[in-house]
Amino acid sequence: METLKETLKLQVIQQLNLEDIKPSDIKDDEPLFGEGLGLDSIDALELIVLLEKHHGIKTINPEDGKTIFRSINTMAEFIVNSKK
């Protein structure tokens, strides 16, 4: 799980062009939207692309997006659960 979280941080930085951000700047439980990284709605769409491109998850229920993309922790949990 820890490896997945570190990989996710790198993927988020690359996918969202967060060029001045390092993986160590992103806390596992830090909100990705609003405060924290301050991501916006376009970033949310890019995170969906990220899940498909890097983790083979093709569709997510839009209503679940808020929960899935709350933090690196919740994204990692969602990826692990999707592969069970």
Partner 1 sequence: MSFITSYCRISKDKCSVNGKNILLINSDSELEWIKQLYKSLQIDYPKFYKMDVLSKLAFIGTELIKKNSDFNFYTDDDVALVFANRHSSGDTDLKFNNSYQQELMPSPALFVYTLPNILIGEIAIRNKWHGENLFTVAREFDATFFQNYCNILLSKNSQACVCGWIDAMEDNLEAFLFFVEVSDTSKLNLPFTSKIVANLYKA
Kindly state the helix (H) or strand (E) to which residue 68 belongs, with its residue range: helix 65-68
Q: Round to whole Å and give the CA distance between 82 and 19.
A: 29
Q: Is 19 in the site for partner 1 (CB under 8 A)?
A: yes
Is 69 in contact with 33 (CB distance < 8 Å)? yes
Tokens 């990284």 — which residue?
37
Cα separation values, 47 from 9, 37, 42, Å: 11, 13, 9
CB nearer partner 1, residue 43 or residue 70: 43
Rule CB under 8 A: choose which of 45, 56, 66, 80 binds partner 1.
Answer: 45
Q: Is 24 in the site for partner 1 (CB under 8 A)?
A: no
Q: Is 17 in the site for partner 1 (CB under 8 A)?
A: yes
CB nearer partner 1, residue 2 or residue 20: 20
Q: Using CB under 8 A as the criterion, which residues of the chain lie in contact with partner 1 when the complex forms? A: 16-21, 38, 42-43, 45-46, 49, 52-53
